[in-house]
Amino acid sequence: MTAPSTSPAISLGIGLATGLAVGPATGPVATHCPYCALQCGMTIGADLSIAPRTDIPANAAGALCQKGWTAAELLTNGERLTTPLLYGRPASWERALDHVAARLSAIRAEHGPDAVAVFGGGGLTNEKAYQLGKLARVVLGTSQIDYNGRFCMSSAAAASIRAFGMDRGLPFPITDLAEADVVLLAGANVAETMPPFVRHLPAERLIVVDPRRTPTARPAWLHLQPAPGTDLALALGLLHLAVAEGLVDEPYVAERTAGFDEVRTSLASWWPERIERITGVPVPRMRQAVRALAAARRAVVLTGRGAEQHAKGTDTVTAYINLALALGLPGRHGSGYGCLTGQGNGQGGREHGQKADQLPGYRSIDDPAAREHVAAVWGVDPGDLPGAGRSAYELLDALGTPAGPRALLVFGSNPVVSAPRSAHVTGRLGALDLLVVADVVLSETAALAEVVFPVTQWAEETGTMTNLEGRVLLRRRAVAPPPDVRTDLEVVQGLAARFGHRFAADPREVFDELRRAGAGGPADYSGITYERIEEEKGVFWPCPAPGHPGTPRPFLDGFATPDGRARFVPVEHRPPAEETDDDYPVHLTTGRVLAHYQSGAQTRRIGPLAEAVPEPYVELHPDLAEQLGIVAGDLVRVRGRRGEEQVVARISDAIRRDTVFMPFHWEGANRLTNPALDPTSRMPEFKVCAVRVERVT
């Protein structure tokens, strides 16, 4: 990208807040937390104080985690962006928008519409996700749009669609979990990632599957600790045991499913002792888990990123769904299968068109009827809508290449930190002709941009979010933003206007259009209004008409397949895309910690959270540390096939001897992770790669 001789790094501070004072609060205002997909209810007082709400089921007991309690601190943070930046220098909104529109026009004219790309985020409101998809396809005419939610629960979404015909994180209210006698939690550390969720789990019969003895696994009744990358084998072994011990719910399988005979046959080679050799999980523990699930009056199987962020993540989730179906759980009150959505709007963010292959209402972009319906709402010809584009990592990998996009607009994402093989992604961003970022702070990605738009954050704007239950919630504006800060919707409106299109910027108006565009689709919001959300404290989709009550439990009477039956799908275990060897003898797995969220762009700027975990680290087992001559506090080098990182060592017997753990809230971890993709979901293999660890002398 061309820039003036003065380095952007020298002048960037001019566009930052100093002793920032936000506009007056109108509190107390009832709203929702800006972080995870629980979307806990909270109120913001006139003095910016935070208090938990007790009328929202996700945190009905009045719980908030430390991220929620400190959420207001970002509103007055001194690193807040308050004016547009052009080549690192403050610029007026008109100049910045004119510049972007002119550059986009020139790039499209020279290289075609697909030379321009849009990258969104799973934390954006439904209204923003919808408008980004419309901006890409109607204004820019590009197929190149995807979002960071592809890195979140795309594997679970793909598995749920092929098994149930529909993807909704929890196809039941979160309060149903309290009625379950047993819950199996595969690959999720909710005690750190969404602490209030723990209150919904059964205290006596919680089974946790995780390579680490996390704060979630520690108090669990049973902890299964497989080697990273072997979750699929473990799920196959559990189902093998269910069949061998006669624990399958045969009447349920006969009445409500299809395809079990093929799955039953495929299990023959996955006998328990073989699974123990692959995973390291003892057979007796596997038997305990299966017998507890089968004996329970009500049981639930849940998966999280640990099981899903693999190059075989879709098949791993499918194997857990197969187990749940064999035991007769999905579609029964108080039982079932669910996926723990991660980002604040991870569910809604993929329903309204910012995903490469989807149109609003969770419709397929390749469906002629869907294209015709949405095109009519948008006032365009269906043939003018582009087809499916590249998935998130493939899009980032193609940036600046001869056949790839030459310009990228980023909203609500920080791929320099969050993408796998992140150093390579940073290089691809640098190869662009134009990078434009809309953000609240100068994230690592925004620092590379030619143009940065300062935008409002959670408490400064109104919009809807869809939490992990499929419950549509209303996040309300509580404070006025800084004077020269605009909403993402206003940014999109300004860009669209420069191409001759009228886009709404009022969130209620956008939501009403979203309802029309999504009507008749799997995620039908057409019966949901802001008024209903306020009155009912959230409405479950699908809700296809104003008088419809919403659908908290969509599978009670049948699944969303043509014949109403859930589908068993046979799957086979395969090793991780990258195995250990003499040069790289240790598994690396990554995850979150309690004090931080996602790429850390927000939480690393909040004093109490930064103090709690101020720097990246690597966690090693004491035996591995002794073998390598490492003690706690040593500076160590973690080296992989894609790069290396120097971090501080922490010693813990909570990790397996053959595995190390790094949190991904800083740049280092994802410099090492593997971009190998799941063939169905296009999920990268974040959760396992091969490394070696050595003390820095």
CB-based contacts of 123, cutoff 8 Å, min separation 6 = 34, 343, 344, 345, 349, 412, 598
Question: Tokens 């809230």 appear where?
Answer: 665
The pLDDT value recorded for residue 21 is 43
- Report the DSSP pairing between strands 116-120 and 89-90: unpaired
3-state SS class at 649:
strand
The pLDDT value recorded for residue 23 is 52
For residue range 241-252, list pLDDT tens digits in order.
999 999 999 999
Amino acid (1-letter code) at residue 302: L
- The whole-angstrom separation of Cα 151 and Cα 592 is 14
| Helix (H) / strand (E) containing 32 | strand 29-32
- The whole-angstrom separation of Cα 69 and Cα 64 is 6
Q: In the CATH hierarchy, which top-level class contains the domain 8-14+78-151+345-540? A: alpha beta
10 versus 561: which is more confidently predicted? 561
The pLDDT value recorded for residue 492 is 98
For residue range 676-688, list pLDDT tens digits in order.
999 999 999 999 9
Would the pLDDT of 3 be above 90?
A: no
Whole-angstrom CA distances from 13 to 7, 219, 414 are 12, 47, 19
> Residue 448 in contact with residue 400, Cβ under 8 Å?
no
Residues 53-79 have a mean pLDDT of 91
How is the chain split into domains, by residue range?
8-14+78-151+345-540, 154-340, 586-695
For residue range 271-286, list pLDDT tens digits in order.
999 999 999 999 999 9
- The whole-angstrom separation of Cα 95 and Cα 501 is 19
Architecture of domain 586-695: Beta Barrel (2.40)
Q: Do domains 8-14+78-151+345-540 and 586-695 have the same CATH topology?
A: no
Q: Is the sign of the CA dihedral 620, 626, 631, 636 positive or negative? A: negative
Residues 561-573 have a mean pLDDT of 98
60: confidence class by pLDDT, cuts 50, 70, 90: confident
Q: What is the mean pLDDT of the chain?
A: 94
Residues 185-207 have a mean pLDDT of 93
Q: In the CATH hierarchy, which top-level class contains the domain 154-340? A: alpha beta
Would the pLDDT of 12 be above 60?
A: no
For residue range 359-405, list pLDDT tens digits in order.
999 999 999 999 999 999 999 999 999 999 999 999 999 999 999 99
The secondary structure of 385-432, three-state, reads CCCCCCCHHHHHHHCCCCCCCCEEEEECCCHHHHCCCHHHHHHHHHCC
Amino acid (1-letter code) at residue 229: G
The pLDDT value recorded for residue 678 is 97
The pLDDT value recorded for residue 697 is 84
Would the pLDDT of 173 be above 90?
A: yes
The pLDDT value recorded for residue 8 is 30
> Residue 117 in contact with residue 395, Cβ under 8 Å?
yes
The pLDDT value recorded for residue 574 is 96
Chain-centre distance for alpha carbon 583? 33
pTM for the whole structure = 0.94
Would the pLDDT of 77 be above 70?
A: yes
Which of 199-203, 424-428, 509-513 comes out lowest in average pLDDT?
Answer: 199-203
Question: Tokens 């390598």 appear where?
Answer: 628
Residues 650-654 have a mean pLDDT of 97
For residue range 86-100, list pLDDT tens digits in order.
999 999 999 999 999
